Amino acid sequence: MEFEVELIQGERKETKNVSGSLPLLKVIQESGLELDSYCGGKGTCGKCKALIKPAPSPKARERNLLENSELEEGIRLACLHTVEEDLTVEIEKGGEISILAGEEEVSCEIDNGWNRYIYDFEEPSLEDQRSYLRRIFDRGDMEETSLSAIKQLEKRREENEIVAVGKDEYLARIGSQEEILRAAGAAVDIGTTTVVVYLLDLESGRELAVDSFYNPQKELGADVISRIQAARDQKDGWRKLQRMLVEKLNSSLAGLAEKMDLETDDIYRMVFAGNTIMLHSFLGLNSEDIANSPFIPTICDQQKFSPSDPGLDINPQGEIEILPSISGYVGGDIVADMLAVDLADTENYNLLVDIGTNGEVALGKSDKIYACSVAAGPSFEGGNISEGMAAMPGAADSFEVRKDGFDYTTIDAQKPVGICGSGLLDLTAGLLKAGVVTASGSFQDKEKLPDFWRRRYERKNDIARLKLFTEDESGRERPLFFTQKDVRQMQLAKGAIRAGIEILMDRAEIGTQQIDEVYLVGGFANYLDKRHACEVGMIPEKLEDRIYQAGNGAGAGARMMLLNENLADKAADYKEKTEYLELSTSTEFQQEFTDRMSFPKLE
């Protein structure tokens, strides 16, 4: 039986005819509308909210995860309902992802081999009967080519001047000056949550345009493990994961090229950074063995491929390169971070902390690097937090908490609709200092709370929570809460990162005094308050003055390697001298993690 589902998100309206019993979340995702689904449809994250008319009876899980006012209004979790009658479904409008706006251009020597050559086409004559191709090769820049480039040459033989694009004596393309304006390249940071694509001029190194989008694979789950399970459980799952990403990359590249009056054929080189599982999924490789002990990837070394291998629509004579990974859980994104901050070029140790959907920590000096991955969870990206969200318009991104109230800011100064990573960190540190949260991470007993916070305190389903924004203050037309569970998630995240740092320092047999610089990298690294990062105990307090916020290090490292292919050797050297510490079965780590869950006493 078929039913009609009318989908509405902002200005967008779509009607779908759906065969009975299809999960509503799937219908929404297939229509291309944006809806968070952190748990990948398992009904545990409470993020896939939709206003359904007529509203089905709420499930037990919805009673826990949704407010009574939401249930009364008809809001349900799309993953918990199937289509069994005609429906109208309204979804809140998602915003644009805020990437690191104003991020600085990378600076490195340009040496990627790609050049445009402008040649006068000498008039043939009886005395000079050299072939058209020989006339180009005789210029001395190139001496090999493909049949497709020769066919392009055929069309140009009437012209006086031609542009030839090539690398390492290989002629890749021929055209007129109007046709070939640049030799461009693209660096891509494939994050589990967001993907950033940078278009650069390969000859000048100038950044031309940048695009970012949610990783389309997130409809199969927010974390890599959910995606591996989803791919494993369906026919052709690995290919499907790859196609989702590559299709979106192709449309992003086409958009960037158009913006710069270029064609995708003008893109000759691409470099990819990403965690090991993202790089596997980009290449269509089965990454199931990375999910299970002993966590073995299919590839870890730096590799070059033809654009057609993964199906990228750039110049077919171009090249794509992926950064090397260190292990199943310390990927090419961390090697790119290391390149971006020059992690191991000094005699003293530098510390690198990448806070993304997961946490990776590296401690390195010129002859040795130690690295580990810690299960910090996606809290800083908004996952696992009741009102958590990505850094989008309306996200509360900073808090200044006092005993008698608090000040806050939101992205684009809109009414608050949730809290992003930097806001969560400020809020947690502030509540700790105001005595609302204790060092063990529990909310203070109601009667001991300062007056302001006592009035904001309540319990739902036996879980303590604070009303941060009333229905009138909130942009969601319902109150927004910060719960005891949210504090626990913050403890897990910061405890895991701190434990990783301590384990690496122990392994290197050093203390904080032997660390020169601390680089915080990752999506929200530039926005977090480093004092608060130390106050909650995520970073050792003694290192506060040595913290540098290095932004999207993976994107910077990928751009550097795009412009300078010799950095592939440096990346390989970093990989070579890295000792990876597997912490998943380490009792030492478990003990450290348990110890570091508590907050430092700040009152």
Interaction between residue 249 and ligand FES (CB under 6 A): no
Q: Are 116 and 182 in contact (CB under 8 A)?
A: yes
> Segment contacting ligand FES (CB under 6 A): 44-52, 149-157, 405-413, 489-497?
44-52
Q: How far is the CB of 48 from ligand FES (least distance, A)?
A: 3
Examine residue 54 and say whether the peptide bond preceding it is cis (omega within 30 degrees of 0): yes
Interaction between residue 362 and ligand FES (CB under 6 A): no
Which of 7, 39, 249, 355 is the binder for ligand FES (CB under 6 A)?
39
SS3 content of the chain, % helix, strand, coil (to 5): 35, 25, 40
Which of 37, 264, 317, 398 is the binder for ligand FES (CB under 6 A)?
37
> Segment contacting ligand FES (CB under 6 A): 42-50, 263-271, 272-280, 335-343?
42-50
Which of 50, 77, 253, 363 is the binder for ligand FES (CB under 6 A)?
77
- The residue (of 379 and 564) whose beta carbon lies closer to ligand FES is 379
Q: How far is the CB of 440 from ligand FES (least distance, A)?
A: 29
Q: Which residues pair with 198 in a beta bridge?
A: 187, 210
Which of 33, 45, 493, 520 is the binder for ligand FES (CB under 6 A)?
45
Q: Are 369 and 575 in contact (CB under 8 A)?
A: no
Q: Which among 436, 435, 537 is positioned nearest to 482, based on CA atoms?
A: 436
Which of 28, 33, 48, 153 is the binder for ligand FES (CB under 6 A)?
48
Residues that bind ligand FES (rule: CB under 6 A) add up to a total of: 12
Q: How far is the CB of 91 from ligand FES (least distance, A)?
A: 12
> Segment contacting ligand FES (CB under 6 A): 35-43, 96-104, 210-218, 322-330?
35-43
Which of 18, 52, 79, 521 is the binder for ligand FES (CB under 6 A)?
79
Q: Which residues pair with 409 in a beta bridge?
A: 398
**Token pair for 194:** 């967001």
Examine residue 294 and say whether the peptide bond preceding it is cis (omega within 30 degrees of 0): yes
- The residue (of 77 and 340) whose beta carbon lies closer to ligand FES is 77
> Segment contacting ligand FES (CB under 6 A): 46-54, 310-318, 401-409, 440-448?
46-54
Q: How far is the CB of 44 from ligand FES (least distance, A)?
A: 6
Query: What is the DSSP code (8-state) at residue 600?
Result: P
Q: How far is the CB of 484 from ligand FES (least distance, A)?
A: 20
- The residue (of 219 and 360) whose beta carbon lies closer to ligand FES is 219
DSSP-derived pairing of the beta strands 418-419 and 395-402: parallel
Q: Are 561 and 395 in contact (CB under 8 A)?
A: no
Interaction between residue 494 and ligand FES (CB under 6 A): no
Which of 5, 24, 38, 307 is the binder for ligand FES (CB under 6 A)?
38
Q: How far is the CB of 43 from ligand FES (least distance, A)?
A: 5
Strands across the sheet with 463-469, in order?
457-460, 463-469, 480-483
- The residue (of 47 and 530) whose beta carbon lies closer to ligand FES is 47
Q: Which among 293, 257, 474, 286 is positioned nearest to 386, based on CA atoms?
A: 474
Tell the residue number behind the tokens 């580990």, with chain if given: 372
Q: How far is the CB of 235 from ligand FES (least distance, A)?
A: 23
> Segment contacting ligand FES (CB under 6 A): 45-53, 316-324, 350-358, 519-527?
45-53
Q: How far is the CB of 15 from ligand FES (least distance, A)?
A: 23
Interaction between residue 43 and ligand FES (CB under 6 A): yes
In this structure, which long-range contacts are made by residues 476-480, counting pairs with CB atoms below 8 Å and at least 24 apart in sequence? Answer: 476/92, 476/417, 476/418, 478/67, 478/69, 478/70, 479/67, 480/387, 480/416, 480/417, 480/418, 480/419
Interaction between residue 47 and ligand FES (CB under 6 A): yes
Query: What is the DSSP code (8-state) at residue 545?
Result: G
> Segment contacting ligand FES (CB under 6 A): 40-48, 198-206, 548-556, 592-600?
40-48
Q: Are 364 and 350 in contact (CB under 8 A)?
A: yes
Q: How many CB atoms lie within 10 A of CB 131?
A: 11
Rg (CA), the chain: 27
Report the C-alpha gap between 268 and 582 in whole angstroms: 38
Report the C-alpha gap between 281 and 226 in whole angstroms: 13
DSSP 498-535: HHHHHHHHHHHT--GGGEEEEEEESTTTTTS-HHHHHH
Interface characters, 185-204, with ligand FES (x: CB under 6 A): --------------------
Q: Which helix (H) or strand (E) holds 9?
A: strand 2-9
Interaction between residue 596 and ligand FES (CB under 6 A): no
Interaction between residue 351 and ligand FES (CB under 6 A): no
Q: Which helix (H) or strand (E) holds 487?
A: helix 484-508
- The residue (of 16 and 47) whose beta carbon lies closer to ligand FES is 47
Q: How far is the CB of 529 from ligand FES (least distance, A)?
A: 30
Q: How far is the CB of 232 from ligand FES (least distance, A)?
A: 19
Helices 567-576 and 553-563 meet at what angle, rounded to 10?
130
Query: In this structure, is the dihedral angle defined by the CA atoms of residues 453, 459, 463 and 466, taken in order, positive or negative?
Result: negative
Rounded alpha-carbon distances, angstroms, from residue 304 to 52, 203, 276, 436: 48, 20, 16, 54
Q: Which among 379, 462, 473, 360 is positioned nearest to 419, based on CA atoms?
A: 379
Which of 23, 46, 316, 393 is the binder for ligand FES (CB under 6 A)?
46
Interaction between residue 27 and ligand FES (CB under 6 A): no
Q: How far is the CB of 288 from ligand FES (least distance, A)?
A: 22
Report the C-alpha gap between 399 and 397 in whole angstroms: 7
- The residue (of 46 and 435) whose beta carbon lies closer to ligand FES is 46
- Residues of this chain that bind ligand FES (CB under 6 A): 37-39, 41, 43-48, 77, 79
